[in-house]
Chains A and B, each alone.
Chain A
Amino acid sequence: MFSQGLSLDQAPPFSVILRFFLTIPLFMFLVSLAIFGMDLHGLAYWDSPKMVAIVHLLLLGVVGMAMVGALFQMLPVLAGASMKEPLFHARWIHLVMFIGTLLLTMAFYFEKFELLHPAMALLLGSLSFIVVLMLFKLLSIDNKTPSVIGMIISLNGLGFGLLFAVLVTLTFMGVDVGFLPSDLRTIHMHFMLFGWITVLIMAVAFQVIEMFYVTPSYPYIIRKWFPLILLTLLVVQFPFYIISESMVHIFDMLIGMVLFTFAVVTLRRLSQRKRPVADTTVWLWRTGLFALMVAVVLVAVMTVVDHPLLLDSAALLFGYFIISIVFAMSYKIVPFLVWFHLNAKGVLECPMMGDIIPSQYTQWHLWLHWLLLVSLFGALLFPLLWKVTALIFLMESLLYGRNLFGATKIYYTLKDKGML
Chain B
Amino acid sequence: MEISNFMRDEHRRCDDAFAKAEQAVNRGDFTEALKYFEEFMIDTLKHFDKEEEILFPAFEEVTGNTEGPTRVMRYEHNQARGLFEELKKAIDQSDKARFFSVADTLMILLQQHNMKEEQMLYAMCDRVLAPQAHQLVERMRTH
Contacts and interface: CB of A to CB of B under 8 A. Distances in A.
Interface of A: 1-2, 4-8, 10, 77-78, 80, 143, 145, 207, 210-212, 214, 274-277, 279, 332, 336, 339-340, 343, 352-355
B102 A7 contact: no
A78 B113 CA distance: 10
B63 A2 contact: yes
B3 to A, nearest CB: 15
Contacts of A353: 101, 104-105, 108
Contacts of B22: 275-277
Given A145-B119, A352-B86, A353-B108, 16 more contacts: A5-B124, A6-B120, A6-B121, A143-B119, A143-B120, A211-B108, A211-B111, A211-B115, A277-B22, A277-B26, A279-B104, A332-B108, A336-B105, A339-B105, A353-B105, A355-B101
Interface in B71-99: 71-73, 75, 79, 82, 86, 97-98
A7 B69 contact: yes
Contact of A212 (B68, B101, B111): B111
Contact of B73 (A6, A145, A355): A6
B101 A207 contact: no
A353 B123 CA distance: 31
B62 to A, nearest CB: 11
B107 interface: yes
B31 interface: no
Contacts of A277: 22, 26, 100
Contacts of A332: 108
Nearest to B115: A211
A335 to B, nearest CB: 8
A8 B111 contact: no
Given A5-B120, A336-B108, A353-B104, A214 B69 contact: no
B107 A6 contact: no
A7 B16 contact: no
Contacts of B26: 276-277
Contacts of A355: 101
A336 B102 CA distance: 11
B120 to A, nearest CB: 5
B68 A352 contact: no
Contact of A352 (B67, B73, B75, B102): B102
Nearest first, the 4 A-B pairs at minimum CB distance are: A354-B101, A274-B19, A211-B111, A6-B69
A1 B71 contact: no
Interface residues of B, number: 38
Contacts of B5: none
A93 B75 CA distance: 32
B101 A80 contact: no
B79 A276 contact: no
A214 B63 contact: no
Nearest to B73: A6
B116 interface: yes
A420 to B, nearest CB: 11
A6 B109 contact: no
Interface in B32-69: 63, 65, 67-69
Contacts of B105: 336, 339, 352-353
A352 B89 CA distance: 14
A336 B112 CA distance: 11
Interface string B2-36: 00000000000001100100110010000000000
B115 A207 contact: yes
A5 to B, nearest CB: 5
A319 B104 CA distance: 29
Contacts of A214: 15, 19, 107, 111
A352 B97 CA distance: 11
B69 to A, nearest CB: 4
A6 B120 CA distance: 8
A80 B118 CA distance: 13
A4 B69 CA distance: 10
A413 B112 CA distance: 26
Contacts of B63: 2
Of the listed residues B73, B102, B120, the one surrounded by the most CB atoms of chain A closer than 10 A to its CB is B120
Contacts of A339: 105
18 contacts: A1-B124, A2-B68, A5-B68, A6-B72, A6-B121, A7-B67, A7-B72, A8-B71, A8-B72, A8-B75, A143-B119, A211-B112, A214-B107, A279-B104, A343-B79, A352-B98, A354-B102, A354-B104
B61 to A, nearest CB: 14
B88 to A, nearest CB: 14
A274 B16 contact: yes
Contacts of B102: 352, 354
B108 A212 contact: yes
A276 B19 contact: yes
